[in-house]
Chain A
Amino acid sequence: MSEPLQRTPLYDLHVELGARLVPFAGWEMPVQYSGIIEEHLAVRRAAGLFDVSHMGEVRVRGRDAAAFLDRVMTNEMSTLKPGAARYTLMCQPDGGCVDDLIVYRFSENEFFICLNASNAAKDIQWLRDHVGTAKVEIIDECKLWAQLALQGPLAEKILSLVTTLPLASIKRFGFLVGEIAGASGCVVSRTGYTGSAGFEIYLPAASGIQVERALLTSGKAHGLIPVGLGARDSLRLEANYPLYGHEISERISPIQAGLGWTVKFNKEQFIGREALRRQAEGGPTSSVVLFSLNDRRIARQGATVYAGETPVGEVLSGTFSPTMNKPIGTALVAAGYVNSEQLTVDIRGTRLPLTISVTPFVK
């Protein structure tokens, strides 16, 4: 039985803008408007506006909120300053990932967390299941918020046209709460999932359309266009940002995914600590690598990676990179082959050499 698809508060505007809508993580979401490559390049050169209202939100507050989050997250939350945000993983005892998240600290005892759409319900249940005796409240706010991502080199210029908030004062992973395009109570953070500069904006759900319209109208002269999930995927992959279910999952840990910097072993206890420490010290059995192909064919999820005639891994994500003008992707490769210069990938019976990149394709 499949549940009916959910629609974001911005659905009517997507239809009006001529978006192509597809099912994604239980939501009916725009995959593209004018075309994936055009939208991708708009973000790199000017700015793009994404509806990411399918993402979930949960508020965690109470006397023990920081200590509780330190116990369920791999990154450190007690040292986070009010007004700042931090990227983290939430792991299972075996080190596999429950989800990756951004945690915002509103005040000493109040945190706000952004969750992946596909994991939101699972995450909130996971948090509740691990409260124990901690004095915290866990408040599901998924339905209260619309969320926009305004990304690209002109994002700040465009956002300044519809708000008086001092945007220049927001540092990377910092945020402010205030009014945007007449909507109050918006959270504006200098974060993103594209590898370009920009902001993510949490809006009271009923204000979503009003703010998106104001941004599109004001930003048009600066090259702002709406961008769908298709370009969101190629943008994040160029920047080597993981996507849950691909580079991280219940079977791929943050250590394997190259996200060891989010795992703070100085904390005495957190879920997954022992398994992750074993992986970090002994080396994981397989690791995620970023690659490009000198070809036009795209190596897609599930394609097999070979060293000679031995299968040594599989592709996790694959797309065409408009910036590099060639296919790029990620693969999970067995330990010992991660630095190999002899890897190939099978695309419909053709073996193509895979060029591993140790740095993202955009800075």
Chain B
Amino acid sequence: MSQVPATLRYTKDHEWVRQESDGTVTIGITDHAQAALGDVTFVDLPKAGKTFSTGEVFGTVESVKAASDLYCPIAGEVVEANAQLNDSPDLVNREPYGGAWMIRVKPKNPAEVNQLLDAAAYSATL
């Protein structure tokens, strides 16, 4: 039912990861995750320069129903957080794979992205 683009990588915690050409990765939450959360009202994201290890909580997404932690799929340093989500948290519901990207990270180990689930493996968990 929910969309799982073939070009992205995924975690079992419903984050998606996109490899960018400049070596950074972009991170967001999946269509399945936004549908399960319901109307998103707040997204709390880290500032650029913060570093996270794999699986560490990097932020919170809050919906009318509940607050959920966001887990960093890959170790690295945040180079940018999506400031648009401050004013338009509902983008998470409307464009989970587009306008509602959450952070861009410079990976500590670029090969780590290959260890994430591919679209078929992620779909199998839903």
Q: Which one of B11-19, B59-67, B97-105, B116-124 is at the A interface?
A: B59-67
1/0 per position for B53-71, CB-CB distance to A under 8 A? 0000000101011110000
A37-B64, A348-B60 known; A298-B42 Cβ under 8 A: yes
Q: How far is the CB of A148 from chain B (nearest CB, A)?
A: 23
Instruction: Say if the beta carbon of A296 comes within 8 Å of chain B.
Output: yes
Contact of B41 among A32, A230, A298, A300 (CB under 8 A): A298
For chain B, the count of residues having a C-beta within 8 Å of the partner chain is: 14
- B62 CB contacts on chain A under 8 angstroms: 296-298
B39 sits at the interface (CB 8 A): yes
- Contact yes or no, B42 A296, CB < 8 A: yes
Q: Which of A290-317 contact B (CB under 8 A)?
A: 295-298, 300
How many Å from the CB of B34 to the closest CB on chain A? 11
Which residue of the partner chain, among B39, B66, B89, contacts A35 with CB atoms under 8 Å? B39
Known: A234-B64, A296-B62, A348-B60. A32 touches B38 (CB 8 A): yes
Closest Cβ of chain A: how far from B45's Cβ, in Å? Answer: 12
Q: Is A36 an interface residue (CB 8 A)?
A: yes
Find out whether the CB atom of B89 lies under 8 angstroms from the CB atom of A348.
no
**Chain B interface, DSSP helix/strand/loop, else mixed:** mixed
Interface 0/1 of A322-337, CB less than 8 Å to B: 0000010000000000
B39 touches A36 (CB 8 A): yes
| Residue A112 CB within 8 A of the other chain | no
A37 and B62 alpha carbons, distance in the complex (Å): 14
Residues of A close to B38: CB separation below 8 A: 32, 35-36, 230
Query: For chains A and B in complex, what number of residue pairs have CB atoms within 8 angstroms?
Result: 40
A300 near B64: Cβ-Cβ < 8 Å: no
Q: A36-B64, A319-B64, A348-B60 are in contact. Are A296 and B39 (CB under 8 A)?
A: no
Residues in chain A near residue B89, CB distance under 8 A? 296
- A interface size (C-beta, 8 A): 17
Judge if B80 is at the interface, Cβ distance under 8 Å. no
A320 at interface (Cβ–Cβ under 8 A)?
A: yes
In the complex, chain A residues whose CB is within 8 Å of the CB of B67? 297-298, 300, 348
CA distance A246 to B66 in the complex (A): 17
A230, A295, A297: the one within 8 Å of B64 (CB): A230
Are B65 and A297 in touch, CB under 8 angstroms?
A: no
Report if A297-B39 is in contact (Cβ < 8 Å); known contacts: A36-B64, A37-B64, A230-B65: no
CA distance A203 to B42 in the complex (A): 40
A230 to B41, CA, bound (A): 14
With a CB–CB cut-off of 8 A, which chain B residues contact A298? 41-42, 62, 64, 67
Q: Which residues of B contact A300 (CB under 8 A)?
A: 66-67
Q: How far, in Å, is A125 (CB) from chain B's closest CB?
A: 33
In the bound complex, CA of A295 to CA of B62 (Å): 12
Q: How far is the CA of A306 from the CA of B38 in the complex (A)?
A: 30
Closest Cβ of chain A to B90, distance in Å, is 8
Compute how far the CA of A149 lies from the CA of B92 in the bound complex, rounded to whole angstroms.
31
The 5 closest A-B pairs by CB, nearest first: A296-B42, A320-B41, A37-B39, A36-B64, A320-B64
Please give 16 more A-B residue pairs, beta carbons under 8 A apart, in addition to A35-B39, A37-B39, A230-B38: A32-B38, A35-B38, A35-B93, A36-B38, A36-B64, A38-B39, A230-B64, A296-B41, A296-B62, A297-B42, A297-B62, A297-B67, A298-B41, A300-B66, A300-B67, A320-B41
Interface residues of B (CB under 8 A from A): 38-39, 41-42, 44, 60, 62, 64-67, 86, 89, 93
